Amino acid sequence: MEPVIIVLIILVVLVFIALIKTIQVIPQASAAIVERFGRYTRTLNAGLNIVVPFIDTIRNRIDLREQVVPFPPQPVITQDNLVVNIDTVIYYQVTDARAATYEVASYIQAIEQLTVTTLRNIIGGMDLERTLTSREEINAALRGVLDEATGKWGIRVNRVELKAIEPPTSIQDSMEKQMRADRDKRAAILQAEGVRQSEILRAEGEKQSQILRAEGEAKAAALRAEGEAQAVRTVFEAIHAGDPDQKLLSYQYLQMLPKIAEGDANKLWIVPSEIGDALKGLSGAMGNIGGLGGAGVPPQERREKPSID
């Protein structure tokens, strides 16, 4: 009985192993390469798959998701014979599991070496300044070459990014000095522009202030002249309304004489011819007043208006 039990146990184990090898579960976004006696048979897609045990074997399981592979810095010589270190990152995706398995031994290593050689060809035709400012151009050129070369490997290169471009230390120091000089130059220019704008605004303000001051003085002088003219008209109208005689005018002439002589600058002043007539009239008036005090002239004496020549 014991040999029979051992045989049954062995059969059960073989059946269990055969079931395990027959049923293959492939995860989502993955693929598996099946070989029969060492020859490619088919590609297993995601889900439950049945294979022939002990005849069909799983050669390789491939992830079909997009992969990100960073490559170490690579020394590259520019057109002006300067060595720069460039870090690259490749975003790729396997589109054909069979080609990725049989067309190239190691597609990761192949992509890395192809990236290095292509990058050296591209950077070799650029100087340092263009290399530092043309990342998008380098990325596009590198992606085009890689995508074309890796197509037969069943791989699609989606993106290529340059992580860093590091020039030599001496070049970095020179670039920093140049950038510092450019910043100082821009600062000096901006300061000069600020001073210039400030002077312009100050001049414009002074000009506007002088214009407004002149306009104010002109308006004040006009108002002052208008007031004086109005005062003269009022006095003139009042004098004519009062019908003054020669004696009153003579008295007004005498009152104006001290005002004419006022001021240190008045070294020479002219006496109008009417002053003599005014003095004669005033002396006559004083004689009449004396006559009134001593002789007793009747109060109803008629005053004669002076004749106007």
- One digit per residue, the tens of pLDDT, for the chain of length 309 reads 577 788 778 888 887 887 787 888 899 999 999 999 889 999 999 988 888 888 888 888 999 999 999 988 888 888 888 888 998 999 999 999 999 999 998 889 999 999 999 998 988 888 888 888 888 888 888 988 888 889 899 999 998 888 888 887 777 777 777 778 888 888 889 888 888 898 898 888 888 888 988 888 888 888 888 887 887 777 767 766 766 666 666 666 666 666 666 655 555 555 555 555 655 655 555 555 444 444 444 444 444 444 443
Q: Characterize 22-35 residue by residue with b for buried, 16 or more Cβ atoms within 10 angstroms of its Cβ, and e for exposed.
A: eebebeeebbbbbb
- Residue 233 to residue 152: CA distance in whole angstroms: 113
- What backbone phi and psi angles, to 5 degrees, belong to 98? -65, -45
- Other beta carbons within 10 angstroms of residue 86's beta carbon come to 21
- Residue 263 to residue 228: CA distance in whole angstroms: 21
- Residue 177 CA to its chain's centroid (Å): 25
- Residue 114 to residue 163: CA distance in whole angstroms: 17
> Residue type for 47, please?
G
Residues with Cβ within 8 Å of 219's Cβ and at least 6 positions away in sequence, in order, are none
- Residue 89 to residue 67: CA distance in whole angstroms: 10
Q: Are 102 and 140 in contact (CB under 8 A)?
A: no
Q: Are 106 and 113 in contact (CB under 8 A)?
A: no
